Amino acid sequence: MKYLAQVRYVFPFRLGVPEAAFWMRTDGNGAFVRVWSAKADRQLILRDQKDRKPEHRREWLRSIIKPQDVVSRMVCINNDDDLFLEEVVDSVGFTRLDVTFEYLGETFPPEQPDQSKIREQAISIAQRFVRMYRLVANQVDVRVPNESDSPIVELRAGTEYSFSLNEIDAKLATVNRLFQWDLPSTSGAVKGILTEAKLTEFGNYLRQGSEPELYQQFLLEAKELSKVHGDHRLSVVVAQSAFEVYAQSRLIQECKLRNLRTLLSVRGESQDVDTSITDGDLRRELLGHYARCLAGQSVKECQEFHAWHKNAYILRNEIVHRGRHDVDQSHARVAFESVMSYCKYLNRMLVAGRNGPSAVAVEPKRFS
């Protein structure tokens, strides 16, 4: 049955638009996005000196909507102790977005999995809305949000309504309200200390004057694009670019380790290693002919190859060449994980081909 669905978000940024409703064309019959921007207070209460150490913190998070539709966020630490030593209050800009559209569901009121599908559609619309705002306003400080960025996600629905390009007239009832506040990783106050192993690794890199390799920077960029900026399509494209960079650099590195200066191409022509690898076709020559020669066997007859080919290579081509739009955070995550998994497999095969099956491979740097 068809009914009107509305998902309300409260995002921690302000938009330079008046309180208004905007009509958007979508894959369905269109959607309204209504905007309210306001300012709220954020309070952090430190109840004990030990709370300054992350490992001793105990937190209780609460988000409420005041009658005037302003969000207040309070973090209470050690809430069983009434004594507090310090209070820090600052002002935070918030924007409430109501995303409203028609939905064809199985039941009313909507139950799972319709609730999840409605929220997926709504956040996709909200992200498109913010992307266009960023482009028009040229304001990069407003980032494209994910659902987890909103402390309150309210789902409302109704069957008594009129819905058109010019107006909405509806009776909507609250179906579900999520209260959440995933602690932002961008805040230094909530970061735990690195493990001893990570600190040692970090210190060694600094002492050696090391810098991240290009493919590692691409992987971090792909992760940020999806998790922070909500640009899942570009995240997939960058993740696949990371793999292509890794495959080229790893094959060239392997040739240098074996003191190989030239390679025979598929056509039997002898070329220097850099030219052979950088000019070669990724699937047919790099992962086919050259990788087989160096590994002693095919590196394409494995689960890791098929997962990468489906989840990263093909998806990237559909995005770039066919303009595919239905790419969400789960697609970006699977593409990222598939790239990482196949990089590790390719590395193991090359080391084994050089030193024998018992060789221990040094895996590429892990990004979780």
Question: For residue 94, what pLDDT band results from cuts at 50, 70 and 90?
Answer: confident
Pair of tokens at residue 229: 């900026």
Helices (H), the chain: 114-137, 196-208, 214-227, 232-257, 273-279, 291-295, 303-308, 315-322, 329-355
Report residue 143's pLDDT band, with 50, 70 and 90 as the boundaries: confident
Does the pLDDT of residue 77 top 80, yes or no? no
| Lowest-confidence region among 85-99, 268-282, 294-308 | 85-99
| CB-based contact 285:265 (threshold 8 Å) | yes
pTM: 0.57
- How far apart CA 134 and CA 207 sit, in angstroms, is 40
Angstrom CA distances, 134 to 127, 142, 146, 184, 226, stand at 10, 7, 15, 21, 16
Domain spans of the chain? 2-180, 198-355
User: Position of tokens 């921007």?
Assistant: 37
Both tokens of 156, joined, read 């409302």
Rounded Cα distance, 265 and 273, in Å: 10
At residue 232 the predicted structure's pLDDT band, cuts being 50, 70 and 90, is very high
Contact by Cβ (8 Å): 316, 236: yes
User: Are 254 and 350 a contacting pair, CB within 8 Å?
Assistant: yes
pLDDT band at 189 (very low <50, low <70, confident <90, very high): very low
Residues 298-346 have pLDDT tens digits of: 999 999 999 999 999 999 999 999 999 899 989 999 999 999 999 999 9
Give me the pLDDT at residue 307, please: 96
Copy the structure tokens of residue 179: 């209260």
Between 267 and 57, the more confident residue is 267
Whether the pLDDT of residue 87 is over 70: the answer is no
Tell me: cis bond preceding 113? Omega within 30 of 0 counts: yes
CB crowding 109-126: b at 16 or more within 10 Å, else e: bbeeebbeebbbbbbbbb
Using CA atoms, how far residue 288 sits from 247, 283, 293, 294, in Å, is 12, 6, 9, 10
Confidence of residue 355 (pLDDT cuts 50, 70, 90): confident
Total Cβ atoms within 10 A of residue 10: 23
Pairwise pLDDT comparison (142 vs 328), residue with the higher score: 328
Residue 45, token pair as written in the block: 């209460």
Look at strands 86-104 and 161-163 and give their pairing: unpaired
Q: Where is average pLDDT lowest: 179-183, 264-268, 286-290?
A: 179-183
Are the C-beta atoms of residues 328 and 232 closer than 8 Å to each other?
yes
**What does pLDDT average to over the chain?**
79
List Cα–Cα distances, 367 to 55, 268, 285, in angstroms: 23, 38, 27
Range in 182-191, 222-231, 262-271 the model is least confident about: 182-191
Q: Is 116's pLDDT higher than 70?
A: yes
